[in-house]
């Protein structure tokens, strides 16, 4: 739809507060030829238990229903994989359901799980996501991913999802990036930043110290996107435990409030009709009236340059959590950096910057842990985990991993989790001599964006220290 009724724009409301109690990630790699998926899921759940000094046996006593995010059944060649994992976790006969919304599967899993607690159906739930993309050769994997596009109208065109995505990148690159070298370098900076942050994350699949020139010299995937602009293909699992207030405080002294909202847009970009921009709380009615003058061709909304699904997830999510200005009200974000350029597009969709000015979030240094221009803390650090480019994109797990990374910051425990020598060793890795604690000092509110493909589904997950809530 391109116009909305009042009912459709209602601020989503939980019937009671929902808390994030704990969570954990498995290690992430391109392939685990010697591990079954359930081993990775149990690894993630064990991490979640260790984090609040409990055991799977104890934690399971509280769990009442389960939400499993796993996107691509065909990769693992197993339908009802959720039932396999549920059994291996020893959670039968509790109710469980599988959730799949492409790249947003992890976020959607939290969305469903949070509603189960908010409604009173369950007092404590498990949200677990995973993906297994290593059991077919890469070109077959590309075909499988492309089958998430429209099978009659898109997939036969090359069986390559990146191509369907890249036409959006091209349009943004020409209209808002004005094909400038400086814009190209800003894109590359995101790839450098996120791979660099991954160096401090023992869970991360692709830590890499590179330069902007390395990104620009990497092979073209679909111009202007190059290999180092693109996210990873990964295997791994992540989980979160959500609960009502009473259960949450029984399990830990420091649960965090969690709010999850979702938006969507047409599977085919082809079907996106011109419409008015839905405004976020920090935007004004006239703000975009000259957008087409400043950026010729940029007045078609959302066209190929905006993700309406991301905008709607923020539209609902910010209002649920009381966020007005994300840069002011949030302390860090984990964004869905599937490609460097989509990362920039998302800054605009979720109101970190106005439409057309996404690049300035990077160029100002605001997106860094430490602003490289001023050496002061970044205003709103992004993807300190390494994101999808540096840490992982095990599709069903991604949105959960991001949320757990936010949780570590809000607890002030980022260094403890990422710096623990034993964890590096367990993963067969050497903790870098120049390892840095990327803890965001005094973090109280964070946002994770989980995004599917060309923008069919997007969720916004906001995690808040209850002493710093904005909705009351």
Q: Specify the stretch interacting with another protein by CB under 8 A; choose among 83-91, 143-151, 277-285, 344-352.
A: 143-151
Closer Cβ to another protein, 49 or 168, answer by number: 168
Q: How far is the CB of 271 from another protein (least distance, A)?
A: 5
8 vs 284, beta carbon nearer another protein: 8
Report 159-178 residues binding another protein (CB under 8 A): 159-164, 166-171, 174
b (16+ CB within 10 A) / e for 152-178: eebbeeebbbbbbbbebbbbbbbbbbe
* Contact flag: residue 141 with another protein (CB under 8 A): yes
CB nearer to another protein: give 174 or 360: 174
Label residues 353-366 b or e (16+ Cβ within 10 Å = b): bbbbbbbbbbbebb
Is residue 84 part of the contact set for another protein (CB under 8 A)? no
* Cβ distance to another protein smaller for residue 15 or 220: 220
Q: What are phi and psi of 29, to 5 degrees?
A: -145, 165
Q: Which two tokens stand for residue 96?
A: 């469980």
Q: Using the rule CB under 8 A, is 434 a contact of another protein?
A: no
Q: Is 152 in the site for another protein (CB under 8 A)?
A: yes
Q: In what order do the strands lie in the sheet with 332-334?
A: 95-99, 65-69, 124-131, 236-243, 19-25, 256-264, 457-464, 445-451, 332-334
Q: In whole angstroms, how close is the CB of 57 to another protein at the nearest point?
A: 30
User: Binding string to another protein for residues 27 to 46, with x set by CB under 8 A, is what?
Assistant: ------xx------------
Residue 223 CA to residue 456 CA, distance in Å, equals: 23
Q: Tokens 């949780």, residue? A: 407
- The whole-angstrom separation of Cα 310 and Cα 459 is 7
Specify the residue, 145 or 248, whose C-beta has the smaller distance to another protein. Answer: 145
For residues 69 and 399, give the distance between their C-alpha atoms in angstroms, rounded to a whole number: 10
Q: From the list 29, 100, 195, 272, which residue makes contact with another protein (rule: CB under 8 A)?
A: 272
CA atoms lying within 13 Å on the CB side of residue 310: 29
154/168 Cα distance (integer angstroms): 14
Instruction: Give the DSSP letter string of 275-294.
Output: -PPPPPTT--TTTTTTHHHH
C-beta of 171 vs 353, nearer to another protein: 171
The stretch among 148-156, 235-243, 351-359, 365-373 that binds another protein (CB under 8 A) is 148-156
- Candidates 58, 77, 290, 421; binder of another protein (CB under 8 A) is 77
* Smallest distance from another protein to CB 268, Å: 6
For position 228 contacting another protein by CB under 8 A, the verdict is: no
Rounded Cα gap, residues 451 and 106, in angstroms: 9
* Site residues, another protein (CB under 8 A): 1-3, 33-34, 77, 137, 139-146, 151-154, 156-164, 166-171, 174, 220-223, 268-274, 297, 304
């Amino acid at each position: 739809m391109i116009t909305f009724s009042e009912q459709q724009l209602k601020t989503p409301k939980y019937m009671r507060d929902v808390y994030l109690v704990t969570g954990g990630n498995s290690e992430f790699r391109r392939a685990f030829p010697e591990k079954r998926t359930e081993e990775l899921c149990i690894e993630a759940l064990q991490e979640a238990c260790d984090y609040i000094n409990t055991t799977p046996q104890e934690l399971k006593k509280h769990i009442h229903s389960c939400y499993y995010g796993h996107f691509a059944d065909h990769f693992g060649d197993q339908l009802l994989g959720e039932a396999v994992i549920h059994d291996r976790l020893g959670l039968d006969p509790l109710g469980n359901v599988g959730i799949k919304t492409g790249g947003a599967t992890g976020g959607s899993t939290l969305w469903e799980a949070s509603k189960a607690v908010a409604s009173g159906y369950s007092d404590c739930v498990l949200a677990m996501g995973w993906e297994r993309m290593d059991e077919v050769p890469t070109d077959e994997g590309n075909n499988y991913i492309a089958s998430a596009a429209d099978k009659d109208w898109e997939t036969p065109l090359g069986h390559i999802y990146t191509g369907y995505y890249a036409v959006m990148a091209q349009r943004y690159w020409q209209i808002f990036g004005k094909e400038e070298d400086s814009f190209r370098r800003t894109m590359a900076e995101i790839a450098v930043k996120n791979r660099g942050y991954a160096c401090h994350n023992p869970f991360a699949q692709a830590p890499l110290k590179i330069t902007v020139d390395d990104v620009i010299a990497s092979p073209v995937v679909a111009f202007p996107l190059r290999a180092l602009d693109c996210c990873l293909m990964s295997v791994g699992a992540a989980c979160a435990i959500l609960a009502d207030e009473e259960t949450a405080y029984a399990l830990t002294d420091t649960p965090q409030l969690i709010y999850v909202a979702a938006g969507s847009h047409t599977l085919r970009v082809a079907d996106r009709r011109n419409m008015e921009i839905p405004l976020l709380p920090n935007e004004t009615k006239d703000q975009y009236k000259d957008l087409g003058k400043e950026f010729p061709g940029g007045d078609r909304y959302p066209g190929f340059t905006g993700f309406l699904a991301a905008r709607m997830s923020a539209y609902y999510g910010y209002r649920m959590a009381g966020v007005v200005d994300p840069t002011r009200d949030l302390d860090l974000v984990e964004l869905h950096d599937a490609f460097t350029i989509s990362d920039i597009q998302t800054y605009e969709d979720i109101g970190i910057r106005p439409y057309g000015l996404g690049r300035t979030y990077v160029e100002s240094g605001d997106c860094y842990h430490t602003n490289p221009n001023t050496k002061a803390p970044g205003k709103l650090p992004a993807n300190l985990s390494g994101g999808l480019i540096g840490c992982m994109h095990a599709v069903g797990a991604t949105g959960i991993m991001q949320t757990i990374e936010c949780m570590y910051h809000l607890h002030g425990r980022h260094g403890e989790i990422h710096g623990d020598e034993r964890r590096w060793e367990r993963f067969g890795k050497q903790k870098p001599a120049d390892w840095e604690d990327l803890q965001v000092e005094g973090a109280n509110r964070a946002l994770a964006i989980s995004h599917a493909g060309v923008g069919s589904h997007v969720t916004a997950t906001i995690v808040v220290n209850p002493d710093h809530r904005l909705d009351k």
